[in-house]
A and B are shown apart, each in its own frame.
Chain A
Amino acid sequence: MTTLTDPPRAGFRLYLLFNDTRYRSLTFQAIALMLLIFAFAYLGSNLFRNLTAAGLNISYDFLGSSAGYDINQRLIEYDSQSTNARAAVVGILNTLLVAFLACVTATIFGVIAGVLRLSNNWLVSKLMAFYVEIFRNIPVLIWIIIIFTIMTAVLPGPNKFRGDSATASMVLDMFAFTNRGIYVPAPTWGAGSSILVLTFIASIAGIFAYRRYTTKLLYDTGRLLPVFWPSIALLLMPTILMYFVLGRPVGLDLPELRGFNFQGGLKIGGPLIALWFALSVYTGAFIAENVRAGIQSVSKGQTEAALALGLRPGRVMNLVVLPQALRVIIPPLISQFLNITKNSSLAIAVGYADVTATLGGITLNQTGRAIECVVLLMLFYLTISLSISAIMNVYNNSVKLKER
């Protein structure tokens, strides 16, 4: 019989710090800590000495002083007398807006391209392969500039709409596509419009209730009610009825060429469109590859088994392939969303007023507070990235394969 005995406890010697497993990890950590502290102290002292030599200081007072410049796209109240902090917030909201829009459309583009790339149609699958390759292999900055240039050059300027010899005209008298942006009608909310909105929300709730009911009916009795058309009817009918009953409370504010620009309506600015579109098609190409890989990862046996059970092809996709493919698609999709958010910082190339252009651009230029601005900028992106990954990780865990 063997017994495990501790090695004889010799007196502590210095080399044991490196060779004895009991101390070694502590030694290494202590060394690492010392190096870290030393590095920070070194950099900090350099910073301090440099700043004192230049007579500068670190101060965030500039955030409270008035910014002095105007921003063309603002989701909150802002004018040139507002503070630099408010300008930064305007930029943050613009970043979030373009990132959100681009995430949605990139997913749509990516799913379409990914599915079509697996299509039996030779031409279409080759075209999609071409799309994916050409966008994946050319830098996004070049794409942003190219798309912005195309937009400026191809769409007419507002002056083309003017005069008798106008070479451009509005679509349906409601939409104007110009190289300054797209003008669309904006709703004007009259009296009673809140009731209309409530009706609409109620009908959406109704759709969900109806769908629950049909599913339950299907499971309980096996009877299958139509879903699509009743949903559409539920969505539109009550709202339209209410609209006329209430005497058309919601009107449209049509854009109209007055002075230099189209006035009225809702303007989606050119830089926003260019950036949004560029980020969507660029990231869409990456998502397409993820989607393709996800669909291909579902083994053929699953499809065959589903078909053998008598499911129709559409249901095979919805009920069998996609739920399994999603598990593979979601994690890389999250990192693509993060990439969109980070790449939206290239907005400066097209003059979109995101946070890099306000806080890290004009504010930095005007106040000269480089360190402060860049630190704040990095903190913002870090917060966004960490929260997106946190949210997505929660979702990811919920769709994870439940192993028992």
Chain B
Amino acid sequence: MSNFQTNPVAFVREGMIPSAPPPYTAGGPIKWLRENLFATPANALLTIVAAYVIYLVLASTLPWVLNGVWTANSLAECREILNGTSGACLAVLTERWPQLLFGFKYPSDQYWRPALAFALLFVAVAPVLFFDLPRKLLTITALYPFVAFWLIWGGTILAPILALVGCVGGYLVYQRFVKGSFAIGFFGGIAAAFVIWMVGGALIPDGASENSILTAIPSRDLGGFMLNMMLGVTCVSLSIPIGIALALGRQSRLPLIKIICVVFIEFIRGVPLITLLFVANVMLAYFFPPNSSVDLFLRVVIMITMFSAAYIAEVIRGGLAALPTGQYEAANSLGLDYAQAMRLIILPQALKISIPGIVNVAVGLFKDTTLVSVISMFDLLGMIRGPILASTEWNGVYWELLGFAALLFFVVCYGISQYSQWLERRLATGHR
């Protein structure tokens, strides 16, 4: 470089100067603010309005919640402790906690039973929800209903075992005959299961429930959030097979079967759930044989299952319609009959597409289980509107209780819908 020294230029930069930091408005939080909050005047106005709304909501609720009283025995006591300041009387939650979760009649020393059933539910549904888990875990799922039934209702263990034996028997018959004809296997299986139940039912001695390991608990004693969960889980799982049958029936080429399915689906979808619950509550009893009494829980399960089956049928019909015709044609050209084609080719694909839709229906249904509070069942909302708000101690504690119910539902439903979105993303990869 020394030969340049004669150059008349006074100064030549020989090295790179370190790069200057960007102007402070073009980086860091300010850039983020400018791009995301104050891009245009209109945008800035929106931001300010939104911030003000958030402030208003927080300013009215936060102090109220933070100033909450957690230990008191009645609203009057709460008011005494608060001494005129504004604050939530959250003591109602701590005091009535078990009632909100399990209803007011479930024996308190048996709370571990529904709690255990609830914990096992996660184990049981995991293999259904997450495909990566080993398939063998599905055995647990298959056993779960019987275990849960026994845990929650108690009574003689013979009843769930009989139900299980019936299912296994039916399945074996199905396996034996399905090679010949699906119809014979299917109906034969159902018939076998019924025979086992009938014979077994007659064998169970009267009063077997009297002194069993777990005390029998009548379904009228179920309540609280547990009732919502049970109705939701039972009805959704019952309605999936019915929904599949209805969807297939609606696509069927047999006009009579198609008409039956269409009428059923459109009828159920056309009326509000509350009227169906009225049916369960005030009408259904007249349709059972005289002198039999089917308890309210079962009647409600029947109606909600019919309700959700109709909606699930529509979701699955969408899945069936979304399959390319090539799949149907390929199945036919392989010489598969209707049952085989559906079982081996069409339904596995259609169900896979339908899963997010089914989950949406399930969330909707779970939320709708709160409607049973209108027909004198003490679910979470029923507990709040009935016994708790009617009691002398907690008369007037609306916000705390309603907020708690809302929170509980939000946590569960948001969790499920996040799962559904995750699943949608995962399933989407296969079809692009």
Contact = CB atoms under 8 A, between A and B. Distances in A.
Question: Is chain B in direct contact with chain A in the complex (CB below 8 A)?
Answer: yes
B254 interface: yes
Contacts of A140: 367
Interface in B24-41: 35-37, 39
Given A46-B288, A356-B274, A142 B381 contact: yes
Best-surrounded residue of A47, A50, A137 (most CB of chain B within 10 A):
A137
B70 interface: no
Interface stretch (B44-52, B96-104, B164-172, B344-352): B44-52
Nearest to B33: A122
The B interface, classified by DSSP as helix, strand, loop or mixed, is helix
A384 B50 CA distance: 39
Contact of B409 (A119, A127, A137): A137
Contact of A138 (B254, B272, B374, B410): B410
Interface stretch (A81-89, A171-179, A204-212, A342-350): A342-350
Nearest to A128: B50
Interface string A260-299: 0000000000000000000000000000000000000000
B46 A119 contact: yes
Interface in A90-136: 116, 119-124, 127, 133-134, 136
Contacts of B298: none
A386 interface: yes
Contact of A123 (B50, B260, B385, B409): B50
14 contacts: A28-B257, A49-B289, A121-B39, A121-B46, A123-B51, A124-B47, A124-B50, A127-B50, A134-B410, A136-B417, A356-B274, A381-B275, A382-B270, A385-B269
A352 to B, nearest CB: 14
Given A122-B37, A382-B271, A385-B269, A138 B399 contact: no
Contacts of A142: 370, 381, 402, 405-406, 409
Contacts of A47: 286-287
A386 B37 contact: no
Nearest to A348: B374
B183 interface: yes
B409 A138 contact: yes
Interface residues of B, number: 58
A127 B53 contact: yes
B181 A382 contact: no
B374 A29 contact: no
B36 A146 contact: no
Interface residues of A, number: 53
Given A138-B367, A139-B367, A142-B402, A374 B278 contact: yes
Given A46-B286, A133-B414, A374 B47 contact: no
Interface string A15-52: 00011000001001100110010000001001101110
B374 A18 contact: no
A33 B370 CA distance: 36
B253 A25 contact: yes
Contact of A32 (B46, B256, B286): B256
Contacts of B413: 136-138
B51 A381 contact: no
Given A29-B255, A29-B257, A345-B272, 14 more contacts: A47-B287, A119-B43, A138-B406, A141-B371, A142-B381, A149-B398, A149-B399, A345-B274, A360-B275, A364-B282, A370-B278, A371-B286, A374-B275, A378-B271
A250 interface: no
A260 B126 CA distance: 60
A232 B274 CA distance: 46
Interface of A: 18-19, 25, 28-29, 32-33, 36, 43, 46-47, 49-51, 53, 116, 119-124, 127, 133-134, 136-142, 145-146, 149, 342-343, 345-346, 348-349, 356, 360, 364, 370-371, 374, 377-378, 381-382, 385-386
B310 interface: no
A50 B181 CA distance: 41
A137 B283 contact: no
Interface in B398-432: 398-399, 402, 405-406, 409-410, 413-414, 417
B270 A46 contact: no
Interface of B: 35-37, 39, 43, 46-47, 50-51, 53-54, 181, 183-184, 253-257, 260, 266-267, 269-275, 278-279, 282-283, 285-290, 363, 367-368, 370-371, 373-374, 381, 385, 398-399, 402, 405-406, 409-410, 413-414, 417
A141 B370 contact: yes
Contact of A146 (B275, B363, B406): B406
Contacts of A32: 254, 256-257, 260
A343 B364 CA distance: 12
Given A142-B405, A370-B282, A381 B254 contact: no
4 shortest A-B CB distances, which residue pairs? A122-B36, A385-B270, A137-B413, A342-B272
A25 B398 CA distance: 59
A371 B278 CA distance: 9
Best-surrounded residue of A29, A119, A343 (most CB of chain B within 10 A):
A29
Contacts of B54: 127
B368 A139 contact: yes
